Amino acid sequence: MIKRALISVWFKDGIVELANFLNEKSVEIISTGGTQKILEKAGIPVTPVSQITGLSSVMDGRVKTLDPKIFGGILADRDNKSHMTDLTNIGGLQIDLIIVNFYPFVQEAVDKKLEFKKAIEYIDIGGPSMIRAAAKNYHSVIPLCDPSLYNDFIKHFNENDGAIPLKVREKYARAVFKMTSEYESAIYSFLSSSDKKLQENFSVDTKKQQEMRYGENPHQKAGFFISHGKSLPWFQHQGKDLSYNNYADLESAINISREFSEPSCTIIKHANPCGFGLGTDNLQAYQRAVSTDPVSYFGGIVGFNTLVTDSLAELLVKPFLECIVAPEFSPAALKIFKKKKNLRVIELNSEYEPDFQMIKSVAGGFLIQDRDSDQGEIEELNIVTRLRPTETQIAALKLGWKLVRYVKSNAIVFANENQLLGVGAGQMSRVDSVKIAVRKSGEAGLNLSGSILASDAFFPFPDSIELAAKTGASAIIQPGGSIKDGEVVKKADELNLSMVMTGTRHFYH
């Protein structure tokens, strides 16, 4: 039976009601600090922890409950005579119920990005120690770590005349270790956030944010999970829940648009950019992005890096689009989007940063790598041909190089200084990717004369260079590194093309 309870909670929701219930059932309540004050204010009798330990709170409250008389009362196995004798000898009391939750480390330290010295003050020591002790000894002690469990506890108490069944105790113990593991993981992640090295042991602690109707295909189960200690970096104004494929495409739309300081628009379809444009404003950028592939953009995900206005919104509601993502929408634009209730409208937090490392399950294990985010190689281009690119061509080469690393390998893009002109993605042969990019740009009615070609990896043969020249391309950017580099450069010189090598490959699988 429950004769004595210790209550020490940060989150006070429902605690007065629960304490009142316990008091009515003649359960003695032990408490400390802010919890004690709230209970006493509500007229509930409370025994101070200090009355049991003989010590008041010290070290600015860091030490209140860390005492053998408290922990002995929690950890003593009621069926072990030696335990009970030891408890008597130290002057401890049996504690039958522990109601504890923790300092809000995530809400106060993580979300508010506190500096280390301030953040550590939200690392709870006594709370996790007591509730873990109770969970370990759940045969004798009942642990309650979450306000959502209070009504469940009251129900079982009433149904069983205070004798909480073992299965229910086990459930409460599981909740404790789930909570403490999440708490410790959040602290670990916070303290490791500045360490960019690949760790020997990699731990990911997540919680399910969304149960999806299905995964990549209707027969696959799926859900969207986020790390404990993190909140969503975006807000959905309207529309259906995001699908599995939406999430993958959404990330590319966000990350590509953020590569550019001038107004930009990215259109993603099946994990590849099928349209991209820069402009003096979002409207011009969108029109250029659509012109890349006026057919394939239907059903795409569209990303912007600046405010979406009402005039742009009027255009965006005309075709069928899955999702629109931007850092800001005008009130008038949001009103216009309501014409299409299923259209997903996502506002991105200005502080959003993609995770530094990426994880993929494969072959019974996991592949973990740094995100391909370094673009420093385009600041000093290595010109390897006799003909040097013009300033306009250099701008186009940089645009193409930023885009090509978001295209599935083997990846080829044609571009000018303002937009994407043609895409060849995911082919087994690089020259086939070139052919597809040329065909797609022709079908869109775009002129490749004077354009640039960007390749995510080296050219194994000069055939792609010859085809690029026939289409009117004037400059090429590629990483180099092939044993045929000499032949490729020679062919570029013969065809009067300029070529730069970056020394960095950007495969994307």
Can 196 be counted among the known catalytic residues? no
Kindly name the residue from 25, 136, 240, 490 that is annotated as catalytic.
136
β-strand partners of 326: 347
Query: In the structure encoding, which two tokens stand for residue 388, read together?
Result: 């040097």
Measure the CA–CA gap between 310 and 290, rounded to whole angstroms.
18
Pseudo-torsion of CA 103, 106, 107, 113, nearest 10°? Answer: 120
Of 270, 340, 484, 490, catalytic: 270
Question: Is-catalytic flag, 270?
Answer: yes
DSSP string, 189-229: HHHHTT--SPPSS----EEEEEE-S-SSSTTS--EEEEETT
> Measured between alpha carbons, how far is residue 276 from residues 253, 265, 355 in Å?
10, 6, 24
Q: What distance separates the 2 farthest-apart alpha carbons in the chain? A: 96
Dihedral over Cα of 389, 395, 398, 401: its sign: negative
Residue 427 has a CB neighbour count (10 Å cut-off) of 18
How far lies 97's CA from each of 3, 116, 144, in Å?
Answer: 8, 34, 8
Q: Could you tell me if 480 and 384 are in contact, meaning their C-beta atoms sit under 8 angstroms apart?
A: yes
Q: Is 380 exposed, middle or buried (0-12, 13-18, 19+ CB in 10 A)?
A: exposed
Under a CB-based contact definition with an 8 Å cutoff, are residues 98 and 5 in contact?
A: yes
Residues classed as catalytic: 136, 270
